[in-house]
Chain A
Amino acid sequence: NAGVMQNPRHLVRRRGQEARLRCSPMKGHSHVYWYRQLPEEGLKFMVYLQKENIIDESGMPKERFSAEFPKEGPSILRIQQVVRGDSAAYFCASSPSGDGKNIQYFGAGTRLSVL
């Protein structure tokens, strides 16, 4: 049973370009969470999605960042017009439900570097 799959593992973008990060949850999981790990800081919650719905995006920057989890296919975290401060490791986690009793299983992350 494959775990949470994130790709790409490493992504390099120049300032002003777009970054698309993909996350395929574990089989049977319909709840996806995105976290960001900045250098010298802990992981911080960004957004929680179920299939076709954004449940909580309170941790998302107001501009340039968006997330989706379509009915078919992986969840996508999209960053438009990237800036150097967006350089970080972005982790996706999944769980079978969102009731807090279930473990969130994390992927290996996407390391974004903005030049």
Chain B
Amino acid sequence: TQLLEQSPQFLSIQEGENLTVYCNSSSVFSSLQWYRQEPGEGPVLLVTVVTGGEVKKLKRLTFQFGDARKDSSLHITAAQPGDTGLYLCADRKGGSNYKLTFGKGTLLTVNP
């Protein structure tokens, strides 16, 4: 059974600071996805990474995928209060095209 470990579990920072959160898998990712879930809402897909070593940028967010495809990081530059939320990584379960396995997430709070 694949396990996705996310760290840190909680992160509270001031507006304007930079931060990095991590996602590690006990096995090679099939197709790593990062989501953000705002309080009281459902997860919203931010990015999908597939290729080892891949780097994707989404405005102030930079996603890196490890060469061995077992780890990933999400870096946010100059965090804003609107970045507050639960950041989740997920993988499509091995052998399944549709079944998503999620980590427990990093709860980010950006204080004004």
Partners in one complex: yes
Give Cα distance in the complex from A48 to B100, angstroms: 11
Interface string of A30-47 (1 = CB under 8 A from B): 010101000011111100
Distance (Å) between the CB of B79 and the closest chain A CB?
23
- Of residues 73 through 115 on chain A, the ones whose CB sits less than 8 Å from some CB of chain B are 91, 93, 95, 98-101, 103-109
B97 touches A100 (CB 8 A): yes
Across the interface, name the chain A residue whose C-beta is closest to B97. Answer: A100
Give Cα distance in the complex from A57 to B79, angstroms: 40
B45 touches A107 (CB 8 A): no
A43 touches B102 (CB 8 A): yes
Pick the residue among A4, A45, A95, A105 that contacts B99 (CB under 8 A).
Answer: A45
Does more than half of chain B's interface fall in helix, strand or loop, or is it mixed? loop
Give Cα distance in the complex from A45 to B90, angstroms: 11
The number of chain B residues touching the other chain, given as a range, is 20 to 34
* B92 lies within 8 A of chain A by Cβ: yes
Pick the residue among B31, B41, B44, B102 that contacts A100 (CB under 8 A).
Answer: B31
The number of chain A residues touching the other chain, given as a range, is 20 to 34
The 9 closest A-B pairs by CB, nearest first: A100-B97, A106-B42, A42-B102, A43-B102, A42-B104, A98-B98, A45-B99, A106-B43, A108-B41
* A18 lies within 8 A of chain B by Cβ: no
Pick the residue among B4, B45, B88, B104 that contacts A103 (CB under 8 A).
Answer: B45
* B85 lies within 8 A of chain A by Cβ: no
Distance (Å) between the CB of B56 and the closest chain A CB?
15
* A52 lies within 8 A of chain B by Cβ: no
Measured between beta carbons, the chain A residues less than 8 angstroms from B96 are: 56, 100
